Each structure stands twice: as C-alpha cells, then as structure tokens.
Structure 1
Amino acid sequence: MFALSSGMPPAAIAVVRVSGPAAGTALETLAGRLPAPRHASLAALKDSKGALLDRALIFWFPGPATATGEDLAELHLHGGRAVVAAVEHALAAMPGLRRAQPGEFTRRAFLGGRIDLAEAEGLADLLAAETESQRVQALGMASGHVSRAVAGWQERLIGLMAGAEAELNFADEDDVEVYEGAGARLMDGMKALAAELGEWLARPAAEVIAEGLSVVIAGPPNAGKSTLINALARRELAIVSSVAGTTRDIIETSLALDGIAMRFSDTAGIRGEGGDAIEAIGIDRARAAVEAADILLWLGPVKEAPNHPRAILIAAQADRWRGDAGAEAEAAHCDLVLSAATGGGMDKLHAMIVEMARTLLPREGEPALRQRQRAALTEAKQWLAIEPGTREADDLILIAERLRLAATALDRITGRAGVEDMLDALFGRFCIGK
C-alpha cells in the first residue's frame, strides 16, 4: 500500500510512503535501484515508460524494524500537487500496489506488534490535538505511559496465575515450588493489585482533556451571560438584548485558556417560569447544563446559586450598579466582581477558571485513561475483589478463574498478553517438564 504521509500539497517536501512486501520492488521500479538501508539517496524517479517524474530523496527500510513491521520505502518529493499526483499514479499502476485506507499504516503497526492499542489511541489523539494539554497527554499515551503500567500489572497477574496453577496441578511434584497458605498469599496479591487499579481509576478521564471541560454560564435573565460569552470568545456569538428571554437555547463555543481546551456554554435565563413554551424548554435545558457542568459561572443572586461543587459566583455588570449599596452588599458575598462590557475583572476570571480547571485534569506527566480503557480496568478490578471469608476466598479454582478473567480484561487495553504468557511463566519459573 502507499499514501502521502505528509501534509497536503503544495509544500516544500511531500513524503510518500510505501509499505508491504512489494515496497522494495516499487522503489526499484521508480528509482532503478535500492539504496543502502536507512540512508538517504538522491535518485531520478521514472514511470514505466521511462519519463522523469521527479528528482527526490529515497529511503529503504527493510522490515521488521520499521514503523509498520513490514518492508518500507519513502519518497521525499518536491511538494507540488502535480509531482505528487504523477508519482502516486505511477505507484497505483504497479501490480500488487494500492492506495492505503484511512489509518491503515497504524493498523498494520498494531498487527505487526510495533505498537499496542493504547499507543494507537494516543497517536490518534496526538493527530487531533489542538491545545497544549491535549498534546502533552496524547504524547504520553503514544509514548507508552499507559502501556507500561498495564505491562507491569499483567506481569504481576501472570505470576499470581502461575502460582495458582502450580498449586492446583503440580503441588505433588518435587521440583515445583509451593507455599503453605497459597490462597491467602494469592488474595493478598490480588488485593494489592486491585488497590493500585483503583488509584488509576480515581484519576481524571482522558476525555476531559480531549473533548474539553464544560464551563456553563448561568443565571437569571438579563444577568449579563451573553455579554460574558461574547467577551470570552472575543466575537459576537450571542445576541445581547435587554429583553428577558432573548437567549432560548444553549450557545456553545470551544476556547483554550492557558492551553486547556474548554467548551463554554451560554444558557437561557433561569427563572420560575418562561414567557412561553419555547423559553420554558430553554430553561429546562439550562438547568440540565448546570448539573452536567464541570465548572459553573453563576451570574445572579448568591442565594439562588445552584449547589454545584465547582461554582464561581460572579457579581456581573459592575459598570451598571457601582454605587448601589444593595448591589455592592450582594457583591461582597461573590467570588468576583466583573464587568464584561468594560473588561474589568476578566483577567481575574480567566485565572480562576484555569486554576479550577487544573484540579480536574491529570497532573503534569500523569497518564489518564480513555473510557474504553477505564471500562476494562474497572472490570479487572472487580474480578480481583474477593471478600475474605467467602467460599471463593477458600477455593483455588475460583481464584484462578478470577485471575484469568482479570488478565483478559487488562489485555483489552493493549491487545497484547494472553494465555501463552501465563504458560511461559508457569513452565519457566517452576521447572516443570525437565
């Protein structure tokens, strides 16, 4: 298969990659030779009729030590559209070559054992990263932070599984190392591993970084919500009007504050009842958005503020009420005095949102799990949890089965370890089958 692996032309250089058993033949056909492995070489590329396509740098990477695990060739072309199109046309005309499907290079890398599922997910996130926090988190995933942790857990599980199998099947063999109280020892190992998995599950989810934190602006009608979201977005996103009920649906915009992706939502003014059925629907949606928010910006009376764990109480529209004793008394109970119209307090609000957001994100360098990975880890933890004193706690067969099921759940994160690993541990560590 082949594909353009760099950005769309025109560009200074265009990289066309060919992967698979026919990669060497394709390179020889175009360049007339194979260069020394992993060395750049200048070559004249020609089509099947001998017409010059381009003068380019060529690279030859014999498998399996390549990105995909297969033979791999790269053509570093001049990055014009016509050049790229001509070379791709010449490649497509060769027997056994075809254009790659979306994600096929990464899929082959996984199938070839060059990366695991977690690393592939990290690579996908890295390609989609738009903010600094997304880049750092995705790079850690692609670099194998999660995979290394899973490998450590699998190694411990394999040791426990091998111990259980040895006790069950080979306890009467002289050359097998067995222990008194094997069930209790296995239970202790399972409990310690389950506790470590629980610590990972308590961390923030990776989706918080990838999709952005939800920041909801809420309050009664005419509280300055639309003015605030316009000020944050620095454009006229929402209609600003003195007419109550102007905003009837949720208006959302994606912003990055200090490299953290966030989704800001302007909501309908919350009051006892809407002016009509449409506004009433908007109010219901506003209340639902408040409940689901990661961070709430409340613009309204403190006594009416929803009971939200991460709410910033804002005394808004300060440019209108300064000098009003009642309004200033109310503002004394708020976290922030703000005038989105004049910009007063916006820098402080920015800092408060970022500070609160950082408490919801993984610490720097700390890996986070995606939903699929969290589900697998949760299942593994459940299989490892056995109540002491129960029938299962005294039954080595049931313990061994729980260990196997926990290992199967962990395997879904990376797509690697399996029964063969347990057998290697069993027959390697216990000297069975001399």
Structure 2
Amino acid sequence: MSGFCLDINDDQRTLRDWVRGFAEEVVRPAAAEWDEREETPWPVIREAARIGLYGFESLASMHGDPTGLSLQIANEELFRGDAGIGMSLFGTSLAVAGIFSAGTPEQLGEWIPQCFGDADDPAVAAFCVSEPGAGSDVSSLRTRARWDGARDEWVLDGQKAWITNGGIAGVHVVVASVDSALGARGQAAFVVPPGTPGLVGGPKIRKLGLRASHTADVFLDDVRVPGSCLLGGKEKLDARLARARERPRVGAAEGGKGGGTRRQDAMATFELSRPTVAAQALGIARAAHEYAMEYADGRVAFGRPVIENQAIAFALADLRTEIDAVRLLIWRAAWMGATGKPFDAAQGSMSKLRAGELAVTATEKAIQVLGGAGYSREHPVERMYRDAKIYTIFEGTSEIQRLVIARAITGRHIR
C-alpha cells in the first residue's frame, strides 16, 4: 500500500459486517443485563469464541492487515454494540500485545493460546502495568522483580491497580522494575502462569461504566516464576540494562530540543495502541448518535417530529461531522503504525484525544435530544454516557494526550 486509502476493501467489509452482525444480534440484546449484573459476560465470550471472533487467530488476522484498519473497524463495530461487553472481549488483547511485542517465538507459541483458552472453555488474560502511585507515569513503577539464580526463578512483589481482568485471568503479564535507578529503562515484562501462588486479585471495582468488564487490583507477594517467563529472555535483558547504565538519558530523552531518540521510540510504542482505543470510543459515539437520530425522527412534539426542529437537526449534523472526522484521524494513525510511518505529531494521541472527548459529547447530546427519557434506564443512551467517560481517562487522560502532542510538535519538554 503506497498511500493512505479512504475506502475499505472487500476483506475489511466482510469483517465489518461479521462483527456488526454479532454486535447487533448477540451483544446489544445482552448489554443491559450484564451492565446491571456487573459481572463478566461469560456466555457472550463463549459465543464469540465459538464463532471464531474471540481467539488468537482472529486477532492475528486483524493485526496482519497491512493497512492497519481491520482492528479499528472491528473495535468500532463491537463497541457500537456495547462498550462493557466489548471490553470484556478485547481486554485480553492487551496481554497478548505485551507478549507479542517483547516475547520470543517460543514464548508466543506457549502463552498466547493460553490467554484465550478454547471455544469450550474460554479464558481471559490481564496486562498489569498501572499502580496506585503510577498511572500515566510508568517510570515510577514500584513493583519489583528480583532474580534468584540459585533456583533459576524471578521473584515479583508489588501491587497493580485498575487491571482489566485482574485476578480472574489465567495468564497475567506483569511489568516490573528490575533496576529502579534506570526508571522505565530498567523495567521488564513477565508472564505469570495460571495458578501461580502469591498472585491474588482484589474485589471487582464497582465502576461508573464498563460494568460488564472486570477491573480489580492485583497483589503480588513473593510470586515466583521460572526464568523462562521473562519475556525476551534474561540474556537480552542483561544486555539492555548494561547499555542503559552506560548511557545516561540526555537530549530529547530528558526534554531538550533535538538530539536523542529514546523519547520518540517510547512515544511510538504507546501511539500504536491508541487508535484502537479511539475506535472503541468512536463506536460509543456512533451508537449514541444513531439512537438519538432514530428517537428524534419518531418523537412528535408540537405536531411534528422533533428532528424537524433546527436545534435538534443541527446538533445531530454536528455530531455526524465529528464522527466522520474522528474516524479519519483513527484510520490515519492506524495506517501510519502499520506502514512504519513516524508519529511526528503524535497522531495516535490525536485520534485518542478527539475520540474520547467526542464519545462524552455525543452521549451527553443524545441524552439531551431524548430529554427526560434519555435520563432513564429505559433507553441505552444513559448506559452509553456512563461508558463514555473512561475514554478521557484511561490509556492516558486527555491532559496527557495534549501533553504528548505538545511535546511532539514543539520538540520541547512541556510540563
């Protein structure tokens, strides 16, 4: 693909229709129930596994799209059905991405299938990074990893916070500090196999939204894992730590203008995941807009459908314009990531920033269009409104996205 395309191909169109059908026929009818129960929707996960939507093969196929668009298309359609159930299905992909980005081929073959389980007995996985004192500031992680050479084991101790699938997962991927003096450069990722003693999940956090998705703290107390569970292997880690100790952070890595590429490399890593999160937020915004359109067309007030009132029609027109514009931001960032184009202006953060804020605006406007009906649980826009807010918070708050963008376009360490 030599240039950015503004249309989808036949394979992407087939994927879109497949996921849309599952979202409309399976996810959406179950959304209110699992939101109310605040439980992991295992029957929906099993159905997704049965048809092949939940599993490594489908995820690998989406990631293998050279245009970068398939994963974004699937996320938009699924989260248009329901964000809570959508997150219960796509939360595992965070752990898979952690294994895929740092693991050896042997580790990929061993652990990624275990993240999903099988169609008869599906499993979920958890990616454990955030901590009570280290959310967006990943350089301040306090979870420690210590090498016990006598037993050829790594020993993990610490606490992780706000972890999707934390505690109920089979496989946990844990990022820990090996050399705290090096900050983020002294960290490594470890697979904690199912049933490992010392790893305990806290109670499920009762959240404003995404209630069907399990979120909990994870506690690690003398958690021992084989040396083979260090993603990438110890030899590679030792070499990386040695280079970091020899080369202090200077230039752009410390916020100066020009010089150095370390901050740019780290930014690129985070930028790659943000278009997918943005696509999820876009799905929520689109669902809210479509529901408001349908309601306004059928609701009669003062002798005519309320959609014929200019105030309503203009608000819906503005939302549709924003939805289409944000989708282009997402597709551009996804295409750049897939084709190796540098994120010279933090385009991934741009997509996540605008999509997250659009989800909040669109769901709020949908409630306004429905009036009192929108404030009740009889209509799904109330749930969409609650689900939307997290998209201005997790995977980097809106403020963090603006900080990343500002640093990228100025070349300076904006604080």
Query: TM bucket by the smaller chain?
Result: under 0.3
User: Over alpha carbons, which structure has the higher Rg?
Assistant: 1
TM-score relative to the length of structure 2: 0.25
Hey, which of these two has a bigger chunk of helix by percent?
2
